[in-house]
Amino acid sequence: MLEAQAYTILDGSSVVASGSITLASGGSTVINVPNGLNPYDTYTFSTTGFASTLNVSGNRASSPC
């Protein structure tokens, strides 16, 4: 049985989006940063849980994180 993993997207220390993802082996998903945010700011995507821990930073003006 797949287990959902919680994620957060931060702008500095403020959470701008959060939710959960459930992916099968080899699966993929798209998580969007909410509209209205500065596309040149740096955002951090963070998730921890059953599958692994991931922290990625980048801005929306460059290639996707």
Determine the longest span between alpha carbons in the chain, in angstroms. 39
| Position 8 confidence tier, pLDDT thresholds 50, 70, 90 | very high
Q: Which of 65, 59, 29, 64 is nearest to 46 (CA)?
A: 65
Q: Which are the contacts of 23, defined by CB distance < 8 A and separation ≥ 6?
A: 2, 29, 51
Q: What is the pLDDT of residues 19-51, one digit of tens each?
A: 998 888 888 888 888 888 888 888 888 887 765
Q: Quickly state the pLDDT bin for 14 (edges 50, 70, 90).
A: very high
Residues 15, 11: Cα–Cα separation, whole Å: 6
Chain-centroid distance of CA 16 in Å reads 10
